[in-house]
Structure 1
Amino acid sequence: MDLLFVADPIETFKTYKDSTFAMMREAARRGHGILACEPRDLVWQHGGRVVARNTRTLALTGDAEDWYEVRETDTVALADLGAVLMRKDPPFDAEYVYATHLLQQAEREGARVFNRPQALRDHPEKLSILEFPQFTAPTLVTRDAQAIREFHAEHGDVILKPLDGMGGMGIFRVGPDGLNLGSIIETLNREGAQTVMVQRYLPAIVDGDKRVLLIGGVPVPFCLARIPQGSEIRGNLAAGGKGVARPLSPRDREIAEALGPVLAARGLLLVGLDVIGDSLTEINVTSPTCFQEITDQTGCDVAALFVDALEAALHA
């Protein structure tokens, strides 16, 4: 079958670590057709169906640098494809939301889209943890600067972050001395114009911010612990963290097995849970990564598990 990947420009892929590339490679190995476009290529016009213009049909070369050849470029209706995989990286901005609406219209026309567009909108990556407070550390979500100050006074050591950040962007730690708290609030809160998330600092971050993958509601048996380096508090790989694959801990598995069936039933085929110590900190649904790091270090073929789940979903 033909699989369309709606993603960032394929010219920007770093194939040695890109999870979307790993999906493409495994799907191509099984004989599936690989097509790619960007969200800006999605179009709907009255009287027609949702199409992707400038869609490139790819042949994977096996070369690390020149990893694809374009066989043809065409306009395709999404409903005529075997599946559409939404793999655009954050930010989850207005344009991303508009793309999900076009993808949802394509679903009405018969397209199979993963993750489901409505589920993408319903699960903002930082706010989705609010549904599962039994697994989270003390957390505050607010626009109120005074509420942030009171939360800091109660917990002493906190992390502040914007709701639309990615890769560790805009994350601050404020210790018991409150140094720079006012400036950080002004930077993130913008005089009440932007909502901020504040969480109690988790010392277990020194052992890594663990990415636990759920595929079809089932946890991958290994996580990737992203360990902060030097004086950094952020474990994100984009912020210089070191990725170390580990078997799931009993607590990791407890969280994953509780959330997995719930999220899968909502149309989330692939989810990335972020766990620090024993606490769930984020639920990532837009473009979860870490496939290749886990596979390279453990031999567990995450891309194969994903394509297995995709094929099963399409034949269910």
Structure 2
Amino acid sequence: MNFLFVADPLDLFKTYKDTTFSMMREAQRRGHRIAACLPQDLGWRSGGVVEAEVLRITLTGDAEDWYTVDQRERVPLKDFDAVLMRKDPPFDAEYIYATHLLEQAEREGARVVNKPRALRDHPEKLAIMEFPEFTTPTLVTRSDAAVRAFHAEHGDIILKPLDGMGGMGIFRVKQDALNLGSIIETLNKGGAETIMVQRFVPEISQGDKRVLVIAGQPVPYCLARIPQGTEVRGNLAAGGKGVAQPLSADDRRIAEAIGPKLFARGLLLIGLDVIGGSLTEINVTSPTCFQEIHDQTGCDVPALFVDALEAQVRAG
């Protein structure tokens, strides 16, 4: 098969942990051809089809010089067996434009994973609001007064921007409300931007768990990202320690309820963030943690994903 990865610059990959790299490696191991491009390499000329300036690459197995470029060429996206949208956030206007180009490519016959419309329809923090039975009390608002009322009701809260990633911009405010006004102003920019506020879940001390769901089915192990020292954030990018562990009953219950619904909407791969028994985020853009789970448990997550990708391509 012939796969195109729309991703971040290859030279920025940290191959020892990068999930997109692990997908590429497994695909090449099975004999599939690999190409890569950036979102800005997509283009569409009137009267034509959506194309991309791509790099045909071969993985070398070397930790440093991990790929070679075999060819540079401009290729219609519909000529690939699958186009994998793996660009990391921010989920900004340029990301949205890229999904529109990818959706046009779908109309021309391309298979895009995850489905572009589904990416737009499921902003990673807002998506949890569809499933209140699994979430801690949550508020989405621009209003200073609404945030203050939510804090008065719940006492210990987390505030976060809707477009953050890797734990960026996350604040905890306890019962004393110390700096609450300043934090609200920083995040909502004087009421110009919408933010999310959630009741604090103390089980964060046991880890912010990434539960992977492939083709509607949960991977049997998750990665618990455990905060270190005085840090409240478990994100690996914020210094959290990743510990792979079997799914709990709550993890499985949440994944089995949500996974099939989102798979039916075109989301082949999602990452659920679960703290205690509460769903806190649904990652759809570029879910990670494949290699950490594989390295610690032997569960071959990249193989499970490529199995599902091949099955989807063969199904037509």
TM-score, normalised to structure 2, is 0.99
Shift of 1:182: 0.4
For 1:7, give the aligned amino acid.
A
Shift, 1:248, TM fit: 0.2
Q: Which amino acid aligns with 1:9?
A: P
Alignment partner, residue 3 of structure 2? 3
Secondary structure in 2 matching 1:14: coil
* Structure-2 residue corresponding to 1:138: 137
Matches within 5 A, 1:1-316: 1-53=1-53, 55-316=54-315
- Distance in 2 of aligned mates of 1:229 and 1:16: 22
Cα distance in 1, alignment partners of residues 69 and 45 from structure 2:
27
SS of residue matched to 1:182: helix
**SS across alignment from 1:3:** strand
The superposition leaves residues 82-115 of structure 1 with CA deviations (integer Å, 9 ceiling, x where unpaired) of: 1100000000000000000000000000000000
**SS of corresponding position for 1:166:** coil
TM superposition shift of 1:190: 1.1
Q: What's the CA shift for 1:43?
A: 0.1
- How far apart in 1 are the matches of 2:201 and 2:260? 27
Q: Give the CA deviation at 1:315.
A: 1.2
Work out the number of aligned pairs and report it: 315
- 1:21 positional shift: 0.1
SS at match of 2:258: helix
| Unmatched runs of 5 consecutive residues or more in structure 1 | none
Q: Percent identity?
A: 75
Secondary structure class of the residue paired with 1:97: helix
Q: In the alignment, residue 78 of structure 2 is paired with which amino acid? A: A
Q: Distance in 2 between matches of 1:152 and 1:232?
A: 21
Deviation at 1:126, TM superposition (A): 0.1
Give the CA deviation at 1:278.
0.3
Q: Distance in 1 between matches of 2:32 and 2:52?
A: 18
Provide the C-alpha distance between the structure 1 equivalents of 2:226 and 2:259, rounded to a whole number of angstroms: 25
Q: In the alignment, residue 117 of structure 1 is paired with which amino acid?
A: P
Q: What is the identity, as a one-letter code, of the residue corresponding to 2:22? A: A
Which residue type is aligned with residue 163 of structure 1?
L
Q: Structure 2: 5+ residue runs without aligned partners? A: none
Matched residues in 2 for 1:268 and 1:205: separation?
Answer: 27
Q: Which runs of 4+ in 1 moved over 3 A?
A: none
Q: Cα RMSD (Å) of the superposition?
A: 0.4
The Cα of 1:133 is off from its aligned counterpart by: 0.3
Question: Using the alignment, how far apart are the partners of 1:95 and 1:280 within structure 2?
Answer: 28
Deviation at 1:49, TM superposition (A): 0.5
Letter in 2 for 1:52: A
Return the letter of the residue paired with 1:17. K
CA distance in 1, matches of 2:188, 2:35: 41
Give, in whole Å, the separation in 2 of the partners of 1:269 and 1:307.
11
State the 1:189 CA deviation: 1.0
For 1:29 and 1:244, the matched residues in 2 are separated by 27
SS across alignment from 2:167: coil
Q: 1:309 Cα deviation (Å)? A: 0.3
Aligned equivalents of 2:109 and 2:4: distance in 1?
Answer: 14
- Please give the per-residue CA displacement for 1:257-288, whole angstroms capped at 9, x wherever unaligned: 00011000000000000000000000000000
In 2: Cα distance, 1:254 partner to 1:195 partner: 30
Name the SS of the counterpart of 2:71 in structure 1: strand
State the secondary structure of the residue aligned to 2:225. Answer: strand
Cα deviation, 1:172-222, whole Å, max 9, x if unaligned, reads 000000000000001001111000100000000000000000000100000
Q: Could you tell me how far apart the structure 2 residues matched to 1:57 and 1:268 are?
A: 26
Cα deviation 1:155-177 (Å, max 9, x = unaligned): 00000000000000000000000
Superposed displacement of residue 47, structure 1: 1.1
Provide the C-alpha distance between the structure 2 equivalents of 1:101 and 1:232, rounded to a whole number of angstroms. 38
Encode CA deviations 1:130-171: one digit per residue, 9 max, x unaligned: 100000000000011000000000000000000000000000
Write the distance in 1 (CA, Å) between the matches of 2:74 and 2:308.
Answer: 28
Cα distance between partner residues in 2 of 1:148 and 1:186? 11
